[in-house]
């Protein structure tokens, strides 16, 4: 009888048992795994001048005197003698690992190298000489190598790798979720940062995707880090105009007063636009392009004209449809717009209410990304190279030269 009681107890007790499913998942996948390197190692082998080389990818372009500086993202800077824009001549290549932007002022070239800011003397523009290195000022590029547990490394590249993974899950319908999640293999990080440099009022403003890094360059031999200003995420471009900075983010345009250069003060945020490559500015208006299909998440392909006469209250005035606008430039009364795969367009912008009706020229075959209105030529970055145009006749651009960009596979 004692045994029966015990059995009943066991049966009754079993009613409180709960089952579950345990799932072990494992497998292999091909992935691009980041290659990490410490800043010390990068500094040790940095900034050797080498002979000219083919451009495989064109980044930021800068014109200084008769010289053209073309950034090759993450590799360095190509230097061209552009005395005659119809015959630009390659002079040298400045090796700067991790370089994505540059700015030049008063004979000084400022360039980023992953987390560092480098200052070069351009007394001889064919062979810039390193003057100063501000270490670890762009901390957002610093990562941690979790696999080898090394802090403060940067991603210098990616390699194809076969990665094994193993997870353990537990499931029960009484809790409609997985109860446990154990991952035994991780550490694949994402690296990179796109800095945007601009110089104004003896200060260098370097903007990455979320922060404005401010440097005092009054002593141009020795930039002094001042401070960081948090901007919010999705920062794309920065455009200085007089005593203001216009910062394009993918959710709007920020306007800063930099009359006290070391203390940028936010004046306003023009929201409701998703601007990727946004801003050129004159006294009255900011011209902003929006495009779809980019990482910025835009929904429309538009050119917007924003009234900025009251900087604290920018207001949208006019909107024009475009195909896939990227960079833009303003020269006198002409607005140049890179319309991606749909060509390169110029508009008469003398009357901002009629820009859309006043297309001056459309070079359809020029798949264009960015444009700079230089003193001697109009420089347009296309998918196949860097094009220079004579733009003295604003209704008919005349091609002067092409520096080819040959993509490496």
Partner 1 sequence: MKRFLVILFALFTSLAATAQTKKYTNHNELSVITYGPIFLESGFGLHTFHGLNLNEKFAIGLNTGLDRYPVNNNGAKWFLPLSAKVNYIAYPDRKRSFFAGVDLGYGFAFLNKTVQTNNLKSKYRGGVLFSPQLGWRFNFKNSQSYWSLATGYRYQQFKREDSYSAPSSNLPGRDYVNGLISNENRYHLHRFTLQVGLGF
**8 A C-beta contact, residue 136 and residue 127:** no
Q: Coil, strand or helix: which one is 43?
A: helix
Closest CB to partner 1 among residues 19, 44: 19
CB 18 to partner 1: min, Å:
4
Least distance CB 370 / partner 1 (angstroms): 26
Report DSSP state, residue 355.
Answer: G
CB of 160 to partner 1, least distance (A): 7
Which segments of 111-184 does DSSP mark as H helices, in order? none
Element (H, E) at 5: helix 2-14
CB of 312 to partner 1, least distance (A): 40
Of 76, 93, 128, the residue nearest 107 (C-alpha): 128
CA distance 279 to 304: 10
Q: Which is nearer to partner 1, 186 or 309 (CB)?
A: 186
Cβ-based nearer residue to partner 1, 86 or 185: 185
Cβ proximity to partner 1, 160 vs 365, nearer residue: 160
Where along the sequence are the contacts to partner 1 (CB under 8 A)? 3-4, 7, 10-11, 14-32, 160, 162, 171-174, 188, 190
- CA-to-CA distance for 191 and 210, rounded, in angstroms? 14
In this structure, the number of other CB atoms found within 10 A of the CB of residue 23 comes to 12
Judged by beta carbon, residue 123 or residue 179, the one nearer partner 1 is 179
- Could you tell me which of 181, 187, 188, 175 has the C-alpha nearest to residue 24? 181
Q: Which residue, 17 or 44, is less far from partner 1 as judged by CB?
A: 17
Nearer to partner 1, 2 or 44 (CB): 2
Alpha carbon distance 141, 154 (integer Å): 6
Which tokens hold the place of 77? Answer: 């800077």
Q: Which helix (H) or strand (E) holds 10?
A: helix 2-14
Cβ contact 55:406 at 8 Å: yes
- Output 15 or 44, the one with its CB closest to partner 1: 15
Alpha carbon distance 191, 100 (integer Å): 13
Q: How far is the CB of 145 from partner 1 (least distance, A)?
A: 15
Question: Could you tell me the smallest distance in angstroms from the CB atom of residue 31 to partner 1?
Answer: 5
Strand partners, 329: 336
| Min CB(158)–partner 1 separation in Å | 9
The minimum distance between CB 25 and partner 1, in angstroms, equals 5
Neighbours of 305 (CB within 10 A): 20
């Amino acid at each position: 009888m004692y045994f029966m009681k015990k059995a009943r107890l066991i049966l009754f007790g079993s009613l409180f048992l709960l089952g579950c499913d345990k799932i072990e998942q494992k497998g292999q996948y091909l992935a691009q795994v980041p290659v990490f390197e410490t800043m010390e190692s990068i500094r040790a082998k940095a900034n050797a001048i080498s002979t000219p080389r083919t451009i495989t990818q064109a980044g930021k372009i800068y014109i200084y005197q008769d010289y053209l500086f073309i950034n090759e993202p993450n590799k360095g800077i190509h230097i061209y003698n552009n005395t005659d824009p119809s015959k630009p001549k390659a002079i040298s290549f400045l090796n700067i690992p991790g370089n994505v932007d540059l700015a030049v002022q008063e004979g000084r070239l400022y360039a980023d190298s992953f987390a560092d800011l480098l200052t070069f003397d351009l007394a001889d523009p064919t062979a810039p000489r390193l003057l100063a290195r501000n270490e670890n000022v762009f901390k957002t590029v610093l990562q941690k190598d979790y696999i080898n547990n090394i802090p403060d490394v940067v991603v210098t590249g990616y390699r194809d790798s076969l990665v094994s993974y193993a997870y353990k899950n537990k499931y029960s319908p009484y809790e409609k979720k997985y109860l446990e999640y154990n991952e035994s293999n991780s550490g694949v990080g994402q690296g990179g940062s796109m800095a945007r440099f601009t110089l104004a009022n003896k200060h260098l403003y370097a903007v990455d995707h979320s922060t404005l890094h401010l440097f005092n360059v009054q002593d141009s031999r020795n930039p002094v880090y001042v401070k960081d200003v948090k901007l919010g995420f999705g920062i794309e471009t920065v455009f200085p105009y007089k005593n203001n900075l216009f910062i394009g983010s993918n959710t709007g345009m920020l306007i800063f007063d930099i009359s006290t250069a070391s203390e940028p003060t936010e004046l306003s945020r023009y929201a409701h636009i998703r601007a990727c490559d946004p801003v050129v500015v004159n006294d009255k208006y900011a011209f902003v392009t929006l495009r779809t299909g980019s990482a910025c998440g835009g929904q429309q392909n538009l050119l917007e004209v924003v009234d900025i006469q009251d900087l604290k209250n920018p207001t949208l005035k006019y909107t024009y449809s475009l195909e896939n606008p990227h960079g833009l430039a303003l020269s006198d009364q002409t607005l140049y717009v890179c319309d991606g795969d749909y060509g390169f367009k110029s508009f008469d912008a003398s009357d901002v209410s009629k820009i859309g009706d006043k297309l001056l020229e459309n070079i359809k075959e020029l798949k264009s990304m960015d444009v700079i209105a230089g003193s001697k030529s109009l420089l347009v970055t296309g998918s196949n190279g860097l094009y220079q145009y004579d733009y003295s006749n604003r209704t008919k651009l005349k091609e002067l030269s092409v520096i080819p960009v040959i993509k490496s596979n």
